[in-house]
Amino acid sequence: MAKVYVGLSGGVDSSVTAALLKQQGYDVTGVYMKNWTKDMPGFPCPWKEDYQDAKRVAVQLGIPFKVYDFQTKYKQLVVDYMIDEYKSGQTPNPDIICNQEVKFKLFLNAALKDGADMIATGHYARVKNGQLLTAKNKDKDQTYFLYIVSEDALKKTLFPIGEFTDKKQVREMAKKFGLVTAAKKDSQGICFVGQVGIKEFLSQYVKTKPGKIIDENNKIIGEHEGAIFYTIGQRHGLDVGGGLPYYVTGKDMKKNEVYVTTNLDDKQIWGREIKLTDVHWINDEPNAKKTYQVRTRHRAPLIKGTLNKLSNKTWQIKLTDEVRALTAGQSAVIYNGQHILGGGVIV
């Protein structure tokens, strides 16, 4: 009987994951990862409630329950990285780094050291022979955030929720098992931090000052609260008022200036070529002569594209259609049908 450590977050997806694996005959242990406990002004961290719900589920299922305290490492590997990237003018994706460094490295290694044969999480994804596949529920598919997980880690990972075609099925299954999390709302916001928005979060760590908002005619049209808070293609939160909506086309971190346009067709907002760095392929390198599908942000439509290898860690993608708001620091992920090949960080 394989021993599986399930990452119990206190949510319904991970709860059902643990219940299903126990039902399937695995020797299941529930693990709550204590990654972040700090409250933000007006945004109390939900970790205590999540921890208690995870523990209640373990008691309901009659499985052992452990707590892994990763707070120091999480701060170093995820939070500090995110802050540094924003300071440099990038728009990073903390959920991707959290998966890479915390769930599928720290958690996996700690579980294996503890005697586990495998780990499981409540991700909407599927895995087969070390290959990452899209979830059957296309609306909930989370493979965009998992492209950076290694083949070795995937061979030791289970994603039972990935087989469900509808979120309702998951909640119905939770009710069937009598789990306390059956009706609990899905968490939003930054990975593990809770409902706090990125602006409020960054404000606790970075000193910002107002600066100029400049339009395509080099005219000052307003004032922003700090260039760090703005990203390419952004429309909301500019607060310049009147007339047509403005879209962010760029920013200068040294000058603390944000550049905008009312022209939605502006070439600075749209792009057909992507340069990727820190490229990671889960299994084998893709074939440069073949056409694949590319996703440039979570839940964005897949667009056909061809790949060109520039160096070991740098690749170029040429898309068949233009994509809006290609943003430095975000990731582009490469799909071959339901199979996720890997991806990299947009530069």
Catalytic residues: 98, 191
The single residue listed with the structure tokens 């643990």 is: 18
| Sheet of 3-7, strands arranged across | 65-69, 27-34, 3-7, 118-120, 157-158
Residue 245 CA to residue 248 CA, distance in Å, equals: 10
In 3D space, the residue among 327, 242, 333 whose CA is nearest the CA of residue 280 turns out to be: 333
Q: Angle at Cα 245 formed by Cα 244 and Cα 246, nearest 5°?
A: 120
Instruction: Take residue 200 and report the two structure tokens written for it.
Output: 């409020």
Within 13 Å of residue 136, how many CA atoms lie on the same side as its CB?
11
**Distance, CA of 246 to CA of 93 (rounded, Å):** 24
User: Residues near 155 by Cβ (< 8 Å), separated by ≥ 6?
Assistant: 127, 129, 130
The answer for residues whose C-beta is within 8 angstroms of residue 80's C-beta and 6 or more apart is none
DSSP-derived 3-state class of residue 191: coil
Measured between alpha carbons, how far is residue 91 from residues 81, 85, 233, 294, 323 in Å?
11, 7, 12, 19, 17
**Two structure tokens written together for 294:** 């590319």
Distance, in Å, from the CA atom of 107 to the CA atom of 33, rounded to the nearest integer, reads 8
